[in-house]
Homo-oligomer: A and B are copies of this chain.
């Protein structure tokens, strides 16, 4: 019965069908949060877990891929199989060639790309049998993804955490427009953390959801406990889209973000903001738990996430 139910679900949803997953729920690849522990926990629970390559040196990424595959191994009488998982790759990553070669060598089945053009890498990955989804913040770019032959598009709204589009189109406005613009499978992202918003994303025309914030704050996330506690305590309105003259990022309020806001209100140039930002702020905030001076990348919907929970509990709560 379970098997039949599983097959029915996979058949009727293009995202489940494409990735071979039980529920159309993708855990976003997030810097300093989504290593192999989180990704494998999500995939084991029936979603699709993504390792976030953006914060990993190539050798660290290889280790996470191998650990994730190991955790997702299913041994039957006849063969060894693996539940699906993926890697999220920001295309402006400095050692991008090395990263892509590791992904191919380690036989990663699915890659989500972001922050760059999908034209170059989509054919390369697909020629190695890898499925490719690309994250966009406009329907114009979604059309380019479809033309580049990607297997699915993630449409991410203004409310999402971390790096974000320049046009500030919200999930509510973006998803229906992307739906009209493309015919390939569509995943909604930004602001999805509850059953209500999960259902609303489907009403808007999405066939799957990508969830960042709620997974970033769950038990298996590698984020620092202090970061998780701070974000679980955020009130409505306590995140802001900042650094718009560099690359817009949604950050939780803290001393660093207030310094950025002040600088921006004074009309600081991109160079001044770049100097203020410096290097390694996201690691400091998310991984090391420096709640004052780190970059606390998190989505607007954090104010709806209140409790400690596992990845499996999140998925069960949504479906």
Residues on B with beta carbons closer than 8 Å to the beta carbon of A170: 157-159, 170-172, 190-191, 300
- Is A210 among interface residues, defined by CB-CB distance under 8 A? no
- Is A133 among interface residues, defined by CB-CB distance under 8 A? no
Residue of B nearest to A303 (CB): B177
Residues on B with beta carbons closer than 8 Å to the beta carbon of A267: 264-268
Say whether A159 contacts B176, CB under 8 Å: no
A165 CB to closest chain B CB (Å) equals: 8
Say whether A236 contacts B176, CB under 8 Å: no
Residues on B with beta carbons closer than 8 Å to the beta carbon of A266: 267
B172, B192, B201: the one within 8 Å of A171 (CB): B172
A 241-272 to B, binary, CB cutoff 8 A, 1 in contact else 0: 10001000000000000000000111110000
Say whether B173 contacts A196, CB under 8 Å: no
Residues on B with beta carbons closer than 8 Å to the beta carbon of A179: 196
B169, B171, B197: the one within 8 Å of A176 (CB): B197
- Is A301 among interface residues, defined by CB-CB distance under 8 A? yes
- Is A225 among interface residues, defined by CB-CB distance under 8 A? no
- Contact A236:B169 (CB < 8 A) given known A158-B158, A197-B176: yes
Say whether B168 contacts A197, CB under 8 Å: no
Residues on B with beta carbons closer than 8 Å to the beta carbon of A115: none
Residues on B with beta carbons closer than 8 Å to the beta carbon of A200: 172, 200-201, 203-204
Say whether B167 contacts A237, CB under 8 Å: yes
Say whether B191 contacts A241, CB under 8 Å: no
**Roughly how many angstroms separate A265 CA and B245 CA in the complex, as a whole number?**
9
- Contact A138:B237 (CB < 8 A) given known A171-B170, A267-B265: yes
Say whether B194 contacts A173, CB under 8 Å: no
Residues on B with beta carbons closer than 8 Å to the beta carbon of A240: 168
Residues on B with beta carbons closer than 8 Å to the beta carbon of A100: none
A 204-217 to B, binary, CB cutoff 8 A, 1 in contact else 0: 11000000000000
Residue of B nearest to A250 (CB): B168
Say whether A176 contacts B304, CB under 8 Å: yes
Residues on B with beta carbons closer than 8 Å to the beta carbon of A203: 196-197, 199-200, 202-203
- Is A139 among interface residues, defined by CB-CB distance under 8 A? yes
**Roughly how many angstroms separate A264 CA and B203 CA in the complex, as a whole number?**
37
Residue of B nearest to A188 (CB): B172
Residues on B with beta carbons closer than 8 Å to the beta carbon of A172: 157, 159, 170-172, 190-192, 197, 200, 301
**Roughly how many angstroms separate A241 CA and B241 CA in the complex, as a whole number?**
12
- Is A70 among interface residues, defined by CB-CB distance under 8 A? no
Residue of B nearest to A205 (CB): B196
Q: Which of A197, A200, A266 has the most CB of B within 10 A?
A: A200
**Roughly how many angstroms separate A257 CA and B204 CA in the complex, as a whole number?**
30
**Roughly how many angstroms separate A78 CA and B239 CA in the complex, as a whole number?**
58
Residues on B with beta carbons closer than 8 Å to the beta carbon of A205: 196
Complex A-B, nearest 3 residue pairs according to Cβ-Cβ distance, in ascending order: A267-B267, A167-B237, A172-B191
12 A–B contact pairs at CB < 8 A? A140-B236, A168-B300, A169-B300, A172-B172, A173-B236, A176-B196, A177-B236, A196-B203, A196-B205, A200-B200, A202-B203, A264-B267
